[in-house]
């Protein structure tokens, strides 16, 4: 499959000849062949119009029809796995085994949403039956279910070129709910994006769907994204990336004449709390696994543990030596882009120069050169310093973490209360620790979307109960998740039908319950007919 560098506007390739940009190989720092042409304002408008037209057809498809499309798309992606992995590896330097599992995950996500919409209960059907004899007024028949919102704009993320990108979770959940999607490709992996985009276009065509169900637009800057978010035909936006970029786009979305939902999954430092009992029992093991977690994917996971609270009185003789050993022996790692590398190096220099931080250990540090290389580094401070410099709690994107010593439980609880919103929090403890620090769990419940016990936050299971989100600034909408089957709820809203004849109701709400879905009938869950 040849890479053309053209935006995919429905079934059309953009004719843009504006200043092109290239992808870069992070391992060598070299440009990768193939120029990518930014989408034009006309491309954006055309993509939005096609999407809006497609909505009237696509939104009315049955769950089974949409599921067939998503399953076909997963098969298309699998058929080009080798091509995808090779291209993604050259554009991101992520290891091939990781990219292989990310491809599998991407296909699994598509199939999970296919299974959810094929089963059909996700529409949250509710039926309250009429009571014509009720006094003083008759009770009407009221039936509600979720309907899709309209065209959705998805922003590809830099750090997951497949699972959070063109055919990633946002696209899958949006398509599953019945919404056409316009993806703004991340400029760090445009070739991967184009390959995936063509696979989606093929699936749209093979399935006989209107072309506007999917478009893919390129841009190396911010203009195309800003225009998309403000286009009147766009009805929701999903974004994964940094806090400044996410907030800027959110501000555009909510300041529109017609404000629209904006789902930004942004920065997070993912605090870890190592309680005394766990430290005594498993200090060495935790040190080793923590090192694996904060250096995974070169520390470029949004769930990377970047803040680790541990007792001042080290109840383990093994934690620190093990961590220092692991870090010192860490090779230099490749980051995704030169800009990520530069920010990371700048923040490392900044932290090294601070009097309230100490360097615990450093790995091999790269000499300057064209490749996007960085070294592992671990810092240490105490709760008082963190409380007086809350910026220490900000995300550092790359393979570094910060240990924070606490001297007693009240100090730790204070630190926990001071946290802003995060995607995750992790507690390492024995059952006794959990009882002794029970207040900690209660505090964290109000701070994050996911609380992990005796594990590591990296690795986000794609399942029905997953919550990948959290209070601001972890996300712009804590009421939702961007991973797992509940992500579909972001792109739908309830509509109710009052006193409609059975023949005019959607299948989900008909008396006979032809889809055999779970419904709430007069307040009780049932999958029976009325």
The residue among 324 and 414 lying less far from a copy of itself, judged by its C-beta, is 414
By the rule CB under 8 A, 142 interacts with a copy of itself:
yes
**Candidate residues 2, 133, 135, 137; the one interacting with a copy of itself per rule CB under 8 A:** 137
Token pair, residue 479, equals 């009421």
Q: Indicate which single residue of 193, 291, 449, 508 sits in contact with a copy of itself (rule: CB under 8 A).
A: 449
Does the footprint of a copy of itself cover residue 529 (CB under 8 A)? no
Q: Rounded distance, CA 386 to CA 382, Å?
A: 6
Minimum separation from the CB atom of position 236 to a copy of itself (A): 9
In sequence order, the 6+-apart residues with CB closer than 8 A to the CB of 317 are 283
Choose the binding region for a copy of itself from 124-132, 265-273, 334-342, 370-378 (rule: CB under 8 A).
Answer: 124-132
The reply to whether 525 sits near a copy of itself by the rule CB under 8 A is yes
According to the binding rule CB under 8 A, does residue 394 interact with a copy of itself?
no
- Interface residue with a copy of itself, options 298, 492, 510, 513 (CB under 8 A): 492
Q: Which two tokens stand for residue 482?
A: 């961007």
Does 523 engage in binding with a copy of itself (CB under 8 A)? yes
Identify whether the C-beta of residue 301 lies closer than 8 Å to the C-beta of residue 395: no
Considering only residues 253 through 272, tell me which ones interact with a copy of itself, judged by CB under 8 A. 254-255, 258-259, 261
What stretch of H or E contains 388?
helix 383-388
Is 528 a known active-site residue? Answer: no
* Residues pairing with 147 in the sheet: 493
Per-residue binding letters, 47-86, with a copy of itself (x by CB under 8 A): ---------x--xx--------------------------
Are 376 and 400 in contact, with CB atoms under 8 Å apart? Answer: yes
497 binds a copy of itself (CB under 8 A): yes
Give the helix, strand, coil percentages of the chain, each rounded to 5.
40, 20, 40
Strand 126-128 versus strand 142-148 pairing type: antiparallel
Residue 297 lies near a copy of itself (rule: CB under 8 A): no
Position among 172, 252, 296, 448 found at the interface with a copy of itself (CB under 8 A): 448
Structure tokens belonging to residue 380: 């240490």
Residue 96 CA, distance from chain mean position: 21
User: Pick from 1, 317, 465, 528: which binds a copy of itself (CB under 8 A)?
Assistant: 465
Minimal distance, residue 258 CB to a copy of itself, in Å: 5
Alpha-carbon distances, residue 61 vs 9, 58, 64, 69, 178 (angstroms): 22, 5, 8, 11, 8
Question: Which residues from 471-490 bind a copy of itself, rule CB under 8 A?
Answer: 471-473, 476-481, 485-486, 489
Is residue 178 at the binding interface for a copy of itself, with CB under 8 A as the rule? no
d(CA 482, CA 488): 9
139 binds a copy of itself (CB under 8 A): yes
| Residue 482 C-alpha from the chain's centroid | 5
| SS3 state at 158 | coil
Count of residues in contact with a copy of itself, rule CB under 8 A: 82
Tally the C-alpha atoms within 13 A of residue 113's C-alpha that lie toward its C-beta. 33
Does residue 144 belong to the site contacting a copy of itself (CB under 8 A)?
Answer: yes
Which listed range, 84-92, 247-255, 277-285, 406-414, lies at the site for a copy of itself (CB under 8 A)? Answer: 247-255
Nearer to a copy of itself, 137 or 367 (CB): 137
Tell the smallest beta-carbon distance from residue 471 to a copy of itself (Å). Answer: 8
Which tokens in the block code for residue 399?
Answer: 């393979």
Helices (H), strands (E): how many in the chain?
15, 23
Q: Does residue 495 contact residue 517 with C-beta atoms inside 8 Å?
A: no
265 is catalytic: yes
Distance of alpha carbon 410 from alpha carbon 406, whole angstroms? 9
Using CB under 8 A as the binding rule, whether residue 132 contacts a copy of itself is answered as no
Residue 409 touches a copy of itself, criterion: CB under 8 A = no
* Beta-carbon count within 10 A of 172 CB: 28
Catalytic one of 194, 302, 362, 395: 302
**Cis geometry, peptide bond prior to residue 473 (ω within 30 degrees of 0):** yes
Residue 128 sits in the site that holds a copy of itself (CB under 8 A): yes
* Annotated catalytic residue, options 91, 102, 118, 265: 265
Task: Tell me: does residue 226 bind a copy of itself (CB under 8 A).
Answer: no
- If binding is defined by CB under 8 A, does position 336 make contact with a copy of itself? no
Q: Of residues 107, 172, 237, 250, which one binds a copy of itself by CB under 8 A?
A: 250
Q: Which residues belong to the active site? A: 265, 302
């Amino acid at each position: 499959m040849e890479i053309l560098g053209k935006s995919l506007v429905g079934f059309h390739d953009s004719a843009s000849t504006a200043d092109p940009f290239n992808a870069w190989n992070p391992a060598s720092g070299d440009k990768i062949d193939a120029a990518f042409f930014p989408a034009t304002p006309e491309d954006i408008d055309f993509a939005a119009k096609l999407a809006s037209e497609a909505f009237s057809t696509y939104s009315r498809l049955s769950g089974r029809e949409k599921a067939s499309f998503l399953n076909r798309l997963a098969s298309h992606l699998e058929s080009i796995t080798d091509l995808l992995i090779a291209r993604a590896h050259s554009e991101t330097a992520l290891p091939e085994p990781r990219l292989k599992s990310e491809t599998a995950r991407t296909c699994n996500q598509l199939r999970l949403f296919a299974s959810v919409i094929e089963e059909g209960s996700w529409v949250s059907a509710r039926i309250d039956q009429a009571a014509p004899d009720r006094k003083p007024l008759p009770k009407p028949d009221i039936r509600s279910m979720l309907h899709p919102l309209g065209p959705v704009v998805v922003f590809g993320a830099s750090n997951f070129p497949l699972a959070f990108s063109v055919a990633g979770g946002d696209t899958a959940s949006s398509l599953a709910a019945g919404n056409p999607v316009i993806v703004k490709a991340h400029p760090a992996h445009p070739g991967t994006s184009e390959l995936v985009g063509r696979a989606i276009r093929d699936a749209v065509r093979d399935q006989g769907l209107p072309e506007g169900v999917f478009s893919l637009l390129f841009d190396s800057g911010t203009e195309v994204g800003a225009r998309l978010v403000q286009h009147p035909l766009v009805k929701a936006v999903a974004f994964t990336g940094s806090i400044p970029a996410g907030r800027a786009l959110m501000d555009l979305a909510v300041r529109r004449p017609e404000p629209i939902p904006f789902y930004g999954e942004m920065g997070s430092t993912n605090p870890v709390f190592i309680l005394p009992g766990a430290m005594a029992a498993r200090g060495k093991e935790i040190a080793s696994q923590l090192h694996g977690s904060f250096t995974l994917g070169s520390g470029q996971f949004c769930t990377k543990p970047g803040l680790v609270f541990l007792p001042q009185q080290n109840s383990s003789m093994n934690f620190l030596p093990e961590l220092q050993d692991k870090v010192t022996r860490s090779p230099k790692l490749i980051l995704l882009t030169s800009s990520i590398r530069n920010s990371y190096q700048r923040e490392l220099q900044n932290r090294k120069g601070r009097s309230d931080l100490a360097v615990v250990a450093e790995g091999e540090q790269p000499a300057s050169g064209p490749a996007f290389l960085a070294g592992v580094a671990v810092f240490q401070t105490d709760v008082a310093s963190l409380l007086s410099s809350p910026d220490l709690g900000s995300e550092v994107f790359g393979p570094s973490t910060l240990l924070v010593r606490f001297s007693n439980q009240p100090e730790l609880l204070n630190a926990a209360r001071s946290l802003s919103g995060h995607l995750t929090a992790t507690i390492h403890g024995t059952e006794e620790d959990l009882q002794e620090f029970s207040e900690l769990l209660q505090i964290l419940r109000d701070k994050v979307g996911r609380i992990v016990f005796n594990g590591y936050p990296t690795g986000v299971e794609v399942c029905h109960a997953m919550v990948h989100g959290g209070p601001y600034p972890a996300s712009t909408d804590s009421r939702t998740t961007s991973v797992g089957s509940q992500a579909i709820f972001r792109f739908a809203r309830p509509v109710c039908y009052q006193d409609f004849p059975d023949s005019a109701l959607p299948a989900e709400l008909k008396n006979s319950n032809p889809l055999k879905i779970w419904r709430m009938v007069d307040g009780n869950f049932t999958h029976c007919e009325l």
